[in-house]
Amino acid sequence: MMTEPTQYGFYVDSTKCTGCKACHVSCKDRQSNEIRNNSNPQDNTLPALNGVTWRRVYEYGGGEWTVGNNGCFEQNVFAYYMSIGCNHCSEPVCVKACPTGAMHKRREDGLVHVAEDICIGCESCSRACPYDAPQIDRERKVMTKCDGCFERIADGRKPVCVESCPLRALDFDTMDNLREKYGDGDGHIAPLPSPSITSPNLIIKANVNGSPAGSGEGSILNPSEV
């Protein structure tokens, strides 16, 4: 008998995020460890992974200063941080764009993974994804992406990005559990794209200054790489 598919996802509280990038750095560390564990044990070298950042923290801001008729300055300047990674979407355009089936969605947990043995590194998935989740490892010539720390989930733990956040701005669980705990959230805010594109499994608690997703009212102030 077929069982109902399970869907995991993320919760992000942008009112708590201070932009410390602990989630970003811990995720980067795990990338290296995973490649080391899956590579030839006699090979002590690791790819540089330049530009490969599965979870990123962006500072988003906007607004302007104006001078009133009385000569006084007024402003509506705002800024906030947003932690962004793969949202293991219900309608993943990366999977639809992959010509070999390497990019696939797992039934048992809804996580989107890459089968590196059949990936040809064409980057079609990367061009399709509005979240910049699939990223090319140019040294190994394969696509990489957040895998939801599936081995940790199997052990009853949270992903490293969640556990490393000092403000507890992130959470990860089945979407049913997240909705029971946090509700449906406040809607998606910039710099995220419209959720209608891929039906992401992501619940957001919006910063008080949060601009609607796709509004174009501000810009990313510090594109970050490690």
Question: Which of 74, 58, 72, 85 is closest to 218 using CA atoms?
Answer: 58
pLDDT digits (tens, 9 = 90+) for 92-119: 999 999 999 999 999 999 999 999 999 9
Q: Which domains does the chain have, with CATH numbers?
A: 8-36+48-93+146-220 (3.30.70.20)
* 134 half-sphere exposure, CB direction, 13 A CA radius: 30
Q: Mean pLDDT across the chain, nearest whole number? A: 90
What does the pLDDT read at residue 1?
Answer: 38
Question: Which of 92, 78, 79 is closest to 17 using CA atoms?
Answer: 79
For a pLDDT cut of 90, what percent of the chain falls above it? 69
pLDDT digits (tens, 9 = 90+) for 70-84: 889 888 899 999 999
State the Cα–Cα distance between residues 90 and 21, nearest whole angstrom: 27
- The verdict on pTM exceeding 0.75 is yes
State the Cα–Cα distance between residues 138 and 20, nearest whole angstrom: 28
What does the pLDDT read at residue 226?
Answer: 42
Mean pLDDT of 44-65: 85
